[in-house]
Amino acid sequence: MARNVLQSSLLGAGFSIIFQILCRILTFGINAYIVRNVGREVLGIMNVRLLLLESTLLFLSREAINRAALSANSQQREKCSWAQLINQMWLTVPICAALCVPCLYIWLHWLSAVDAPYSAQYEFACYAVALSCVLELVAESTVFVAQVFCFVKLKIVLNTLHILVRSAIFLWIVTGDRSAAINAFAIAQLSSALTIVLGQYGFFLFYINRFNDFKLRQQTRKSKAVQAPNSWERSLFDHMDDFPFTKLSQLLPGVLSCSGGEPWLNRELQTLTLSFVKQGVLKQILTEGEKYVMSVSPVLSFGEQATYDVVNNLGSMAARFIFRPIEDSAYFYFTQTIARDTRLSKQPPERVRQASSVLNNLLLGVSSIGLLAFTFGQSYSHTLLLLYGGEDFVAGGLPQRLLQWHCLAIYLLSVNGISEGYMFATNTSRDIDKYNYLMAIFSISFLVLSYILTGIFGPVGFIFANCINMLGRILYSTRYIWHQYQPLGLNPLQGLWPGKLFGGTLVLAGLACYWYRNAVFSTHMGIGLAAGVLCLVAWALAHRDLMLLGWKYGRRIKIE
């Protein structure tokens, strides 16, 4: 394909970050409004129970099919026609419709019952969410085509429109009648799904018509006085010689004819899909494990579930916006620097020393951020949650305890991301397969621990289970790193120790902030700001060589 797939991927990644930030801001705002004006129980029903139903249906219906279709499109294009790919994508609709039956029965009859004031709304919302999932998958073939042909702007515009429509309709209904919040959620879900369908098919109706007109004018321009395509049309259509659709109806199942008597569906594609199904089920359990345990366990009320969900979203901001980009860049660097199947002693010594130094500095940087979050989180969790949800939200102390312990999880998450990322970047394929089995054990252990510990400690048990799970993974990955570098006399794991000056300053700052935690708001915040600046200065003094190195490289980039 002439189109620049790499450039489109990078552009899509950049826009996705912006979109995630937009979604997070809107979600935080709406959740704060619900907590303050509607109640935590309603938030728990929507954000835990109903969104879990949506993610379950959509993930199980399309994840494996989409991944298999993309793989076939890039690797087996000559074996799988566009007709078979379109037919494959339309399988998501009947699969989702079939999954709706058992899922609705489980959500309405097996899971813990919703209180009487919300039962009628909850039942309507379950059916509405299921219908919205089926409706959204009606546009799956167009979504797939847009993804293959790198229509990045279309994806960003429709995703943004989708979240704006859902938020606007929800807020419009709730501001008029707060008691109808769950009904508002259901109607907003249906409206946003309809927006996706109309937006996708509307775009391709416009695009295909303009594309056909562009090709016709190109063919007749040499023999007749036909107006030449303008620069906008050429930039949009010139690189699309392999675009196979001439009518919008060809995006429907069975319309685009299969060549050479080939079957309606590709057998190799079905085999590939089944292999992705096995991975998908485990991935869904890993992604939404906490919500499944919450829904099955009768220990937590919907209010407690909502509290945990709000705190988890607040606590995960560091992971999404700070640690994840660092981890992705580090993974790419280590894959390009260290060979997987060769011992470090047989690789270029300069490269190995550089990789060790980079790993040491990365561990030092992210662990320092995690320690700062843990230190100041003990004293300022209550303040942050009070500003977010108001007095009623922080009453009882549960949100504060959750966020305080979540700050410990942030530290472990920072270390685990870099150490495990390095291990994945330098492991052999055999070691990765071995670790995947271990990950399955970690995941099952996490679910069991979550169920047990929530029965003992309540919602805080989820954080304890998560911390234990991450600690086990950290021990495994750091053991791998130590064994890899120990024969060379290198120890990048020294980056896990913050240094005496920075560590001592953290302890003093934490004690000072905790001592003044009940002081006047301005005094409390002033002490925290001064302590934070002091900790940063101490870190800079303790790691002057790293600061000098960063300044030197920053200046070099600026000059270049």
Residue 216 lies in a domain: no
Of 454, 482, 497, the domain-final residue: 497
Concatenating the DSSP letter of every residue in 172-236 gives HHHHH-GGGHHHHHHHHHHHHHHHHHHHHHHHHHHHHHHHHHHHHHHHHTTTS--PPP-HHHHHH
Per-residue b or e along 183-212, where b marks 16 or more CB atoms closer than 10 Å to that residue's CB: bbbbbbbbbbbbbbbebbbebbeebbeebe
Chain-centroid distance, C-alpha 111: 26
Say if residues 455 and 461 touch (Cβ distance below 8 Å). Answer: yes
| Same-domain pairing of 482 and 529 | no
List, for residues 413-463, the tens digit of each pLDDT value. Answer: 989 989 988 988 888 767 776 777 787 888 888 888 988 998 889 889 989
> 1 or 191, which is more confident?
191
pLDDT at 211: 80
What pLDDT is stored for residue 61 in this prediction? 94
Which segment of 369-373, 501-505, 541-545, 554-558 scores lowest on mean pLDDT?
Answer: 554-558
Same domain, 72 and 142: yes
**What tokens does 548 get?**
């000098």
Residue 459 belongs to a domain: yes
Q: Is residue 113 part of a domain?
A: yes
Total structural domains within the chain: 3
Average pLDDT over the chain reads 83
Residue span of the structural domain in which 126 resides: 11-202+266-275
Task: Note whether 470 and 537 are same-domain residues.
Answer: no
Same domain assignment for residues 504 and 464: no
* pLDDT band at residue 138 using 50, 70 and 90 as cut-offs: very high
pLDDT of residue 347: 87
Domain membership of residue 368 (yes or no) is yes
Residues 27 and 95 in one domain: yes
| Tokens encoding 558 | 């600026």
For residue 64, the model assigns a pLDDT of 85
What pLDDT, on a 0 to 100 scale, did the predictor assign at position 236? 57
pLDDT digits (tens, 9 = 90+) for 117-134: 899 999 999 999 999 999
Q: Check whether residue 491 and residue 541 sit in a common domain.
A: no
**469 and 427 inside one domain:** yes
Instruction: Note whether 169 and 31 are same-domain residues.
Output: yes
Over residues 379-400, the mean pLDDT reads: 87
Q: Which two tokens stand for residue 495?
A: 């980056």
Least confident of 227-231, 257-261, 493-497: 227-231
pLDDT score of 270: 80
Stated pTM of the model: 0.76
Residues 431 and 517 in one domain: no
The pLDDT assigned to 230 comes to: 55
Does residue 31 register a pLDDT over 80? no
Contact 399, 377 (CB under 8 A): no
Q: Quote the pLDDT of residue 40.
A: 85
Is 475 contained in some domain? Answer: yes
pLDDT at 550: 62
> pLDDT grade, residue 229 (50/70/90)?
low
pLDDT of 18 higher than 70: no
267-286 average pLDDT score = 74
In this prediction, what percent of the chain has a pLDDT beyond 70? 84
pLDDT at position 292 over 80: yes
% residues pLDDT > 90 (the chain): 38
Under 8 Å between Cβ of 402 and 459: yes
184 and 329 belong to one structural domain: no
Mean pLDDT is lowest, of 236-245, 439-448, 470-479, 527-536, for 236-245
Q: Does some domain include residue 217?
A: no
Same-domain check for residues 342 and 385: yes
Tell me whether residue 48 is in a domain.
yes
For residue 96, name the pLDDT band (cuts at 50, 70, 90).
Answer: very high
Whether residue 226 lies inside any domain: the answer is: no
Whether 57 and 183 share a structural domain: yes
